[in-house]
Structure 1
Amino acid sequence: MADDEVRNFETWDWVLFAAMLAVSAGIGIFYAVKEFCSEKKNTTGEFLMGGRNMQLFPVAVSILVSFMSAILILGTPAEMYTAGTLYFTYLLGMILAIILSTIFFVPLLYPLTLTSSFEYLELRFNSKYAKLTGTLIMIVQQILYMGIASYAPSTALEAVTGFLTWATIITVGCVSTFYTFLGGMKAVVWTDVFQSVIMIAGLLAIVIQVNGRFLY
């Protein structure tokens, strides 16, 4: 096949794509059924916080994957290809932020057993308006961020498959909402673990393919 020839999804590509969405939705269904059959009462805290007793590894992977959107996977290589490796200085700030958060913020917030950091704003300033302001800022920020994070992979998928961008955004958004609505935080965490395996496999496939071209 010529290098300039357009490559499109084949049957097995569509099967894997559908299977990934089905497994993600299935994780939500699994935890919904599990909680329904459990003798333990499914409280709001259980749904939103996973009962505060989840294992370290899946939670750590989930947090890591939360920072690995299409903006990082697609944008960072393009940035370094066009502007050079100066982007590495960004990592210094991230490492410093993580260290400071671990030392100062986690020991402060974790013992309070809050549902969100915005509750701390209300406690700290004794004002619901402080919590509301922080919540609104976060909502706006997430809407802008998720718009870009959803649009980037959708355009890439359309270039490969011809599947319309808006259709991809709606499909992925509905599946994400579905498993979150049914399974709560536990479904979100374990879906992130599953999707991290897919992401790593995809990145390794690219590295192997590129190295194979250079070697042969």
Structure 2
Amino acid sequence: MATEVRKFEAWDWVLFALMLGISAVIGIFYAVKEFMNKDSNNADYLMGGRNMQLVPVAISILVSFMSAILILGTPAEMYTAGTLYFMYLIGMILAIILSALIFVPLLYPLRLTSSFEYLQLRFNSRAAKLTGTVIMIIQQILYMGIASYAPSTALEAVTGFPTWATIITVGCGSTFYTFLGGMKAVVWTDVFQAVVMIAGILAIVIQGAMKVGGMNTVWRINEDWHRIEFWNANFNPTTRHSI
């Protein structure tokens, strides 16, 4: 019996447009707010006035790492290769701790606009700053290509909306609210998008678990297929996942 493939309906398109619209409105709101504020300057636009609250900024940083590569790729990796992939979180946690203890105390008091400015201060060389900036631009262009292509192909699969059109639509929307609202718009749009992403993930997990009979059944099925694995001390470099 063939599985019915659900396509986008009118309400799905409304929600899709609403999400893009809310992001654009946030950009417009902060653009108008900064225009009305006679004391605003470049620091307010680029750095959010350096006085934004902790929680929104933390959520914004979190969302910066939650691309389609993570949302689509990590579940697929664990589904095919098992749960030992979680070990990479240990490295991520250690990296975050080291950054908080070493780099933040070093860079924050300097009140730099970009970490690349530190290269110029450290080596007394404008070429060092430009080199780091160019490398970062190239890396981000390559990364954004993959991060934009992944959700666009997923959207095309369920809607028939062309991949190239999705990339252009989302890219223009992101550029619009960033250009108008600056850093404050970016942070608060990230907060809004974080709520949408987390709600979507929870909906999938809860609905999926309910369909198969609960989390106990989910766990049992994965154990039967030998996907539950939390320790593998095999040092063979050809092993898919190990410590």
Using structure 2 for the length normalisation, give the TM-score.
Answer: 0.86
Structure number with the bigger relative contact order (C-alpha 8 A, sep ≥ 6) is 1
1:138 partnered with 2:136: yes
Residue 160 of structure 2 aligns with which residue?
A: 162
Which amino acid letter does the alignment assign opposite residue 158 of structure 1? E
**C-alpha distance in 1 between matches for 2:5 and 2:78:** 25
Deviation at 1:3, TM superposition (A): 6.2
**C-alpha distance in 2 between matches for 1:185 and 1:141:** 21
**C-alpha distance in 2 between matches for 1:31 and 1:166:** 29
Q: Against the structure 1 CA distance between its residues 128 and 196, is the aligned structure 2 distance closer, same or farther, given a 3 Å change threshold? A: same
Residue 9 of structure 1 aligns with which residue?
A: 8
Structure in which a larger fraction of residues adopt helix = 1
Residue 58 of structure 1 aligns with which residue?
A: 56
1:23 partnered with 2:25: no
**C-alpha distance in 2 between matches for 1:3 and 1:154:** 25
Q: Which of 35, 41, 44 does residue 42 from structure 2 map onto?
A: 44
1:107-139 Cα offsets, whole Å, 9 max, x none, are 000000000000000000000110011001100
Q: Percent identity?
A: 79
Which amino acid letter does the alignment assign opposite residue 191 of structure 1? T
SS at match of 1:4: coil
Which amino acid letter does the alignment assign opposite residue 151 of structure 2? P
Which amino acid letter does the alignment assign opposite residue 21 of structure 2? A
- Structure showing greater radius of gyration is 2
1:86 partnered with 2:106: no
Structure 1: segments with no counterpart, 5+ residues:
none
**C-alpha distance in 2 between matches for 1:215 and 1:76:** 23
Which amino acid letter does the alignment assign opposite residue 134 of structure 1? G
1:82-111 Cα offsets, whole Å, 9 max, x none, are 111221121111011001101110000000
Residue 67 of structure 2 aligns with which residue?
A: 69
Residue 202 of structure 2 aligns with which residue?
A: 204
Q: Which of 122, 142, 149 does residue 151 from structure 1 map onto?
A: 149
Residue 31 of structure 2 aligns with which residue?
A: 32
**C-alpha distance in 1 between matches for 2:55 and 2:159:** 35
SS at match of 1:177: helix
Alignment of 1:103-142 (within 5 A): 103-142=101-140
Which amino acid letter does the alignment assign opposite residue 9 of structure 2? E
SS at match of 2:14: helix
Taking only aligned residues, the RMSD between alpha carbons, in angstroms, comes to: 1.1
Aligned residues: 214
Which amino acid letter does the alignment assign opposite residue 95 of structure 2? A
**C-alpha distance in 2 between matches for 1:79 and 1:180:** 33
**C-alpha distance in 2 between matches for 1:35 and 1:164:** 37
SS at match of 1:120: helix
**C-alpha distance in 1 between matches for 2:38 and 2:113:** 24
**C-alpha distance in 1 between matches for 2:74 and 2:22:** 28
